[in-house]
Amino acid sequence: MSAAKGQTGGQLVVMSGPSGSGKTTIKERLRRHPDITVAVTVTTRPRRAKEQPDRDYHFVTREQFLEMKAQGRFAETNDVFGNGHLYGSLKQELEEALARPGKVYLMEVDVTGAGNLKRAGYEGRYIFISPPSMEVLEQRLRERRTDDEAAIRRRLARAQEEMEQARADQAHVIVNTTVDEAVKKIYALIGLKEKAPAAP
């Protein structure tokens, strides 16, 4: 492994958190900042309604994904939910982003992906978005009405494991009581001032 990446140029921010923690909402708020570029993850899972290809995800077949992995095009890969759908972070996009001084490259991954990036030598701010409590997390998952009871229980058990892993990995824990407060804390942590969104 070469010297750690990300020491000069742009800043890497890796954000993870359990399902229902609000990390995707926070990511969309951070996306508005003109100095933040949000990474686009490659995935083999089907596209959901309202998702935009090459903005929300790069959607590929499993065969395409495995070929890309064999070519060494990923900085990290993971089967996030253990359901056979693969996710990967593109190495070229990451390293090109880190070459831009003053800019922030924001990656949303699960805690395993965050650990993989850290072990690969990518230095940056590793942030874990935590719900205020497990009770609040359960309420949020139920209000989404996207999972049955068994799925909710699996997500809650997984959330407990992720929180323990994040603490073990010494991630910066941001408690998402409100999105506004969480976003402000992240700006302070990464040294950015909140700015008006860039003009479309």
**Rounded Cα gap, residues 129 and 68, in angstroms:** 30
For residues 178-189, average pLDDT:
96
CATH topology of domain 11-190: Rossmann fold (3.40.50)
Is residue 6 pLDDT above 60, yes or no? Answer: no
**Section 36-57 average pLDDT:** 93
Q: What is the 3-state secondary structure (H, E, C) of 141-178?
A: HHHHCCCCHHHHHHHHHHHHHHHHHHHHCCCEEEECCC
Query: Would you place residue 198 in the very low, low, confident or very high pLDDT band (cuts 50, 70, 90)?
Result: low
Query: How high does pLDDT run on average in the chain?
Result: 89
Does the pLDDT at position 182 exceed 70?
Answer: yes
- Domain locations in the chain as residue ranges: 11-190
Q: How many other CB atoms sit within 10 Å of the CB of residue 151?
A: 13
82-99 residue pLDDT tens: 568 899 999 999 999 999
- Displacement of CA 101 from its chain's centroid (Å): 21
* Mean pLDDT on 115-143: 92
pLDDT value at residue 199: 52
Residue 116 near residue 165, CB atoms below 8 Å: no
On the question of pLDDT at 1 being above 60, the answer is no
- What is the structure's pLDDT at 160? 92
Predicted local confidence at residue 138, as pLDDT: 92
pTM of the model: 0.85
